[in-house]
Each structure stands twice: as structure tokens, then as C-alpha cells.
Amino acid sequence: MSAAISPLEQMVVVLARDLADGELGAAGAAALVPMAAIALARELHAPNLTVGGEMFFNPEPGRLYPSMLDDRALGRCEAAETFIELFGHSHHGLDFFFHSGLQHDAYGNINLHHVGGTLHAPKVRGPGAANLSYCHTSTRFYICPTLHTTRNFVEKVDFVTIPGHLSGPEAKRVAGLTNEGPRFVVTPRAVLDFDPATLRMRLKSVHAGHTAAEVQRHTGFDLGITQNVPQTPLPTEEELTALRERIDKTGTLRA
Amino acid sequence: MEGQTTLTRRSKVTGLQDAARRARDALRERPDLCLGGLFKQGRPVALVRGLLAVGAKGLHIYSSPGAGYDVDLMIAAGAVEQVFIPGVTLENRLCPNFRSAVEAGQVTAHALDALTVVGGLMASAHGVPFQPIDALRGSDVLKHNPLIREIDCPFSGRRIHAVGPIRPRVTFLHAQEADRWGNLRHLSTMVYADQLMARASDMVIASVDRIVPDEVILDDPSRVTVPSHYVDVVVEVPYGAHPTASFPNYAMDEDHIDAYADLGDAARASDRAGLDAYIARHVTGPKDQKDYIKTVGGAEYLAQLNAEARKG
């Protein structure tokens, strides 16, 4: 593999490694990176991973699409459902799901509604979100925005569309969020996880070509970096081959 | 026998303009309009354009939990007062006119979630006073969502949510096929919330890519997605979902939607001329669907969308 590894490819590999065989999960709204991660996991170590919970089971797309809500992206699939199934999936939960938003904060809360102003008098109105349940009825979820700046990583979101860890363990308990919530965050720059005691975000590793200082500079809150931060493990030859030759033949992740 | 008339079954087929007028008149009684499909798939856009062309105002818009182009267009045309849709986006970019209108306070966009909308449609479809929901926690949406209430579960005693029936006055659906009695066949992979909406609404108006002979329906009844009992009006509209997709017949016209969004972004930055010209050219201008097809590039251009849908 001669071509340089793209930021999105690195994100896909990080996510794929955390998905286990036999699990049930769905990609969410911004589906490009999550679907690639699911496909890579199925290809390499999780052949019994099921994609479901979004009106279809086990799609076989011919290439990567930015949205899964596109019959082309389903290609063929094993079963098609309707929104009637939304209740069952949302209440029973999945093993994993993916989210990203306009703002992400130090506790992994996500805002898709408004930045500045109020809900009904917003400075900037966002798109909102459809499913607000998978974030806590699923065993866990991942945060995977394709940008990482001080504008979308802020100390506190203006509106909690998708609850992450709220303001920490006590707030989660009071709100009845009993599952893991956001397990980690992967961006084009780094992997960030949450301090188990406080549930505050911290820097776990930086991708090749990036530095801890740079990640801190592009994050709107203190990541508490005190020691050397390891580099995110690079994609293996096997991962890159599967990704480029079988999943992303058109090079969407490198565009 | 003299003085007796023999009743025959009534066809529900009519023309686009007649369907739009019937919708407009019904919506004057109660402005709740619901749109089938999801995002860029299976949206009844020709019916939406028809409704805008005959003049509709003050609409309250519902949909399956995600919508984009059509809602944004209705807002651009000044027809919408309130939006009851959890996610409003073009997916690859945000909806420019939706955002501008909400930011300017011209349109109220309620904070909702998918379970509230689908649950409200379920309650209405099933004829029950509410649908319980036990999967909403921790989101600020719950502080603002106007359609839910907290209740005590009569079995567990737990605090849960309830959503009352959502009863659209009119629902627009788009399916690939129907017979003249209004039996709909969605040939697309997903059927979205169309079946729930059909059962939840006072009046259902469906556009279809083509009307098929009765035998097609009778030969394969399990393929019918919405029985005619729930459908009031059927209109045959070739490319009736354009610029959204009607799989497996044609794919979404992403270039068209992107060009529209560029005009919306310009309007958002204060130059509305292009957006107004778009509405005049594609919405209020065309006499009929044939005319509309010419304005968006003609049959040859649209044939590319047919080919794209078949690629898979």
C-alpha cells in the first residue's frame, strides 16, 4: 500500500477494531465512516456482526455512500423493514451506534439543534436529529465527527440533543442513563476517551502526523495532557487491503 | 328498473391539479399535512409543488422522522408555519431556507424525536388515545417536545412518556404503482412510515409512477403495501418524486437538489433572486408534469436517473 493513509481511513480502522463478532449495530445518520467500519469489521474479524435497526438488515452496498437511507446504498440487503420496527429497536437497543453533531463537549454530549440563542430564537439552527434513543438504549456508542476544531469541540454544548455522559456519573444516574454511553471519540486528528472516574474527555492517542499540542490547540476545552501521548496504531496491511480493495473501491475515504 | 341507478365502484384516479386543490381545501379546515417517504427517497414532491402552485399557507408539516428538500421548498415558498419533523437536512448539507426561516422567527421548528412522531402516528393508526414511550432520557429535546407527556406506567409504576395521536388532515404519499382503486405498491426496498401515515390520516392522496391494471394487484396481493381502503385519491405522475428517488425506477437527482441548495444559500446571504426564479420556473410556472419535466432537463436527462437507479 503505497498511497498515504487518509484521516478517514484511520478513523474507520480505529472504529472497526472495536466492533465484535456477533454484535448488532447501526450506522446512524452520517453513515460514510461508520458503514465502512462495520464493513471492515465484518470482512476481517466479525463475520457474524449484524447491521440492523434502521429499516434494513445486512445491506451489501457496491460502494460506500454518504447516507444509508438510499436504495443504492443498500444494494441488496437481507431484509427490509419499516418505521413500525423503530419502537422495538429503540427500546431493546443495539450493541453499538454512531453519532456526530454541530458541537461535542467535554462529556461527550452532542448538539444538533442550535448554536447561540435559544431553540426558538437560534443564532444558527442545526438539523435536529431523528433517533435520540440508541445513544442510551444501546450498549455503547461512538462519536466520529469528520472535523476537529475549537468550534465543534466546546466545553459545554448549547443544547443537548444526544446525551453523552451529561456532566458526569451523578448526572447520568439521575437521568437514568444506565448504559456505557459514548465509549470514545475518533476524529481526523486523534482518539479521545473518557476518564472513568469523572467521565470527562481526555486524549488517548494522536494519529500519525499529528501532535498532542496540535490536538489541544484545536479543542475548545482542556484535555488535561500531562504525559507523552501515544500514537494511534496505524492500519495494518491486511486492514488497508480489505478497505481499499473490497469496501472502498472508489476511494471515497481518500477523496 | 326505472328510477333505480346501478352503483358502480368509483375510480380514485384524478389529475395533479385537482388533487392539489382538494388537499388545499382540506388543509384550510386544519393545516396538518404529512409527507411520505424519507429524506431523498419516495417523497411526494409533485403533489407538494402542485399544492404550492394552487396556494397554501400556514401549514403544519409532519413527515417520517427525516425530511429535507420538499420541506425546505415549502418554507421558501412561504407556505409553512410550523415544522413537526425531528431531522430536517439535505444530509450532505443543511437546509438553507429552513434554517433562515427558523432563525428569523418566521417558522417554528419543534424539537422532536423519531419515537414521538412514529408513536403519534401509531396511536392515530390504531385508534388509541396514546402510545407509551420508554426510551427517552437525558436529551434537552424532552424539555421542549410539545407532543409528549410524562405518565406513570400502570404496571411498573415507572415514569415514562406518552404521545397522543398525530392525525394529519392530509397525507401525501408517493409509491411506484397503484391500481385505479388506490391499492398502492411500493417496489422500493424501504416503505418508510407510509403504511402508518395512510392509517393515521383523514385524507390520503398518492402519486404513483404508473397506474397498473387491476389484475396486477389481484395476482399478487401480498405485494400491496397500502390497501385502497386507506387511499382517497390517486394520481399518475411520471417522475412524481423528482428530484427525490423512486426506486427502483429512478434515483435521486442530487445535482438538482445541490443547485437548489446553492440558491437557498444565496438567499440566506440576502440574494433571493435566484431562489424566486427557481420557484417561478419549477413550481408555479409549469402547467403540468410534462412541462415540469422540460424545466428540469427533459426526458433524456431524467433517463440518466433511471439508469442510476438500476446500477445498485
pLDDT one digit per residue (tens) for chain A, 255 residues: 457 999 999 999 999 999 999 999 999 888 999 999 999 999 999 999 999 988 889 998 888 988 888 888 888 899 998 888 899 999 999 999 999 999 999 999 999 999 999 999 999 999 999 999 999 999 999 999 999 999 999 999 999 999 999 999 999 999 999 999 999 999 999 999 999 999 999 999 999 999 999 999 999 999 999 889 999 999 999 999 999 999 999 999 998
CA B181 to chain A, closest CA, distance in angstroms equals: 24
Domains, chain A, ranges and CATH? 7-254 (3.40.1080.10)
Cβ(A126)–Cβ(B94) below 8 Å: yes
* Average of per-residue pLDDT across B163-183: 98
CA A132 to chain B, closest CA, distance in angstroms equals: 6
Instruction: Say whether A69 and B94 touch across the interface (CB within 8 A).
Output: no
- Which one of A74, A84, A90 has the shortest CB-CB distance to B189? A74
Q: Could you give the number of structural domains in chain B?
A: 2
Residues B270 and B150 in one domain: no
* pLDDT (0 to 100) of residue B29: 98
Chain B contact present for A122, CB below 8 A? yes
Q: Rounded to the nearest 5°, which phi and psi values hold at B80?
A: -115, 140
pLDDT, tens digit, 9 for 90 and up, residues B204-241? 999 999 999 999 999 999 999 999 999 999 999 999 99
Q: Supply the CATH number for residue B298's domain.
A: 3.40.1080.10
The CA dihedral of B240, B244, B245, B246, to the nearest 10 degrees, is -20
Cβ(B201)–Cβ(B166) below 8 Å: no
CA B77 to chain centre: 16
Q: Is residue B2 part of a domain?
A: no
Residues B159 and B188 in one domain: no
Residues B188 and B284 in one domain: yes
Element holding A9 (H helix, E strand) = helix A7-17
**One-letter amino acid for residue B277 of the chain:** A
Reported ipTM: 0.95
Residues B239 and B152 in one domain: no
CA–CA separation, A90 vs A176, rounded Å?
A: 16
Chain B contact present for A65, CB below 8 A? no
In the predicted structure, residue B312 carries a pLDDT above the cut 60: no
CA B171 to chain A, closest CA, distance in angstroms equals: 16
* pLDDT (0 to 100) of residue A255: 87
**Disruptive mutation site among B113, B115, B122, B140 for chain A (greatest number of A CBs within 10 Å):** B140
CA B115 to chain centre: 18
Residues B62 and B145 in one domain: no
Q: Is residue B11 part of a domain?
A: no
**One-letter amino acid for residue B238 of the chain:** P
Q: CA nearest A113 in B: which residue?
A: B111
Residues B81 and B143 in one domain: no
Residues B134 and B215 in one domain: no
Domain of B138, in residue numbers: 125-163
Chain B contact present for A131, CB below 8 A? yes
Residues B298 and B222 in one domain: yes
Q: Is residue B120 part of a domain?
A: no
Listed by number, the residues of chain A in 157-196 with a beta carbon closer than 8 Å to a beta carbon of chain B are: 159-163, 166, 172, 175-177
Place of cell 433524456: B300
Q: Is residue B117 part of a domain?
A: no
Place of cell 450532505: B92
Side by side, the strands of the sheet bearing A24-25 are A50-51, A24-25, A96-99, A140-143, A182-186, A190-194, A201-206
Instruction: Using DSSP bridges, classify how beta strands A140-143 and A153-154 pair: parallel, antiparallel or unpaired.
Output: unpaired
Residues B135 and B208 in one domain: no
Contacts of A73 in chain B (CB under 8 A): none
pLDDT, tens digit, 9 for 90 and up, residues A52-90? 988 889 998 888 988 888 888 888 899 998 888 899 999
Tell me if residue A121 falls in helix, strand or coil: strand
pLDDT, tens digit, 9 for 90 and up, residues B114-161? 999 999 999 999 999 999 999 999 999 999 999 999 999 999 999 999
Beta bridge partners of B173: B206
Residues B57 and B146 in one domain: no
Q: Is residue B34 part of a domain?
A: yes
Cβ-Cβ contacts under 8 Å between A and B: the total is 165
Instruction: Say whether B39 and A83 touch across the interface (CB within 8 A).
Output: no
Q: How does the average pLDDT of chain B come out, rounded?
A: 96
Tell me if residue B27 falls in helix, strand or coil: helix
Cβ(B85)–Cβ(B166) below 8 Å: no
